[in-house]
Structure 1
Amino acid sequence: MNLLAQLPLECFQSILQILAHQADVSALATLLRVNKHIASITLPYLYRNLFQKSFHHWKTNEGDSDPPISVKRLLQMLLSHYVTAALVDENNIPKVVALALNLAAYRSTIATVTTNPLDYAAQILHINLHGWAFLNRSIFYPSSLQPDLQEYVNGPEFTVLCSWDQFLPEYERNHSPVIRHEFFRALLHRELTWTLANPILEQLQTLVIPVSDINRYLGVLDRLGRLECVRFLVDEIYSCGPEGVVRVTEEWSAKAQERENKSMGSLVRFVESHTQLFKGQLKIATCHSSSIWIWGTQTCPDDAQIKVFQFLPPATQA
């Protein structure tokens, strides 16, 4: 390892770039354990875009990795670091996040580092936490939730957080347990994204924003001066299944349309305001359907996407 330390910095960085391009997480993680000098050089290559899918989908001698399990372990470690580094008050971590990641139990099993720990959070430039990380039903689904999380999801505190008006009355009557657990995944994604992003908004270059939470990000727009790419994830319900399969009332359709118009208006306003505040900084703004819900694909209307494109630099519209 002494030979590794003697490499010119440019050579070592070239090696790290190759490892990162190949998504060789094991090799990069091993380098973190060599010494603090090597770790400090390696850290950005492992953490600047830590939620890219290739970092959590690899082959092992035992078979393919399980991306959601990999992401869950990373989130446990990262949020523990946030608490240790005083980026987040442990008491302010949303309950749904703390319970889903079993943070209290995890933190009780790790040693608290107090002497010059590596600053993982300072390296993060891209928070692109997509829905695929929450699709593993062996982790985040009814039959496998630990008892305290089951109790929370079925309790009155969680009921208040659920937007029941997004669903037809017949869904609420007949599918309440399923709806609760779908809301759980949507809420978990929303609160995890905010908990991770809020302490480091000033340094982020990429951010995936749940549409249901767009107004919270509008409120901190002035902190997003380095943002180059924003992807909006449609995690609200605007349609409830194929026509002819689900009977949709005119009243529900009108409310869904109103909800969609309001959210899309805020989405467009976010891009417009950012491009006015930080001219030329934002290069990419796209809207994607969420894979969180089981009630079909919720899409972004074409007219909203066209309005967004109009505010971007011409070269990025192609």
Structure 2
Amino acid sequence: MTLTVRAPAKINLHLGVGAPREDGFHPLTSVYQAVGLYDDLTVRDSDGWSVDVTVADWMDRDHVPLAGDNIVDRAAALLAAHHGTAMLGDVHIEKAIPVAGGMAGGSADAAAALVALDRLWEAGTSDDDLLALAAQLGSDVPFALVGGSALGTGRGEIVQPVEDAGTWWWVLVPSPIGLSTPEIYRHFDRLSPEAPSTPPMPEELLAALANGDADALAAALHNDLQPAALDLRPDLARLIEAGEAAGALRGVVTGSGPTCVFLHDSADAARATAGELGAKHDVVLVTNGAVAGAHTVSYV
């Protein structure tokens, strides 16, 4: 048997961050959106276990964790242990989601692995159990299963789909220089000593999604980690200014960065902004959302 599962990148339309909990995690109130930039994961029957990765030609292969240290290996081990079955299969990942870009590419791969291996092993894992396993792998993995637009709470792993009446057009500009997520959170703590224990709900943003109102959504985009990211990387502030000057309704850092995303009210507007930003940036991507979560695209 051979099957391929496709999983999308995520962007944060809203990321509210609270003060660290006793377990060290920060409570989050996040609104995720899955966008049309994907990693494809293909699994085949095998008497052993292997993982290999190919990347888009604009990515640095050296930034991808090696087999044995890949979140896909951990997902497979967790699913196999859950069912008491052998961890068998040949896995190939084709990456098009920026690596270490704050777009949950690793989480997408983990979600794709859970879905693909569940089918390959004919395990019949329930949706609830898949979500529970996903939450053990990382805060963004459950959303990669769910897709669409969704509200994330807890440390981001408790995911609830939200009403979304729009088709949203985005320009994405990854950075060749990464940002450390732990360092971003440490810097957030330094900059925000009065952070609340529970971040508030983004009611205006949720209403903008439900109404399909691009201008209202642009006004409501928010990321509590952005000041920390811009403080550490002033070049990202200049990029946001350039994108908005080129015609974007709004630009923000997504997640812990360093990818910046720019909202537009049409595909033509997004392409125009991408054309201008492409003069100074090697990689500029145009995509739309919201799209489905991890799903099978071929099965032989």
| Larger relative helix fraction | 1
| Larger relative strand fraction | 2
The reply to whether TM is greater than 0.5 is no
Higher-Rg structure is: 1
TM-score, scaled relative to structure 1:
0.24
TM-score, scaled relative to structure 2:
0.25
Greater relative contact order structure (CA < 8 Å, 6+ sep):
2
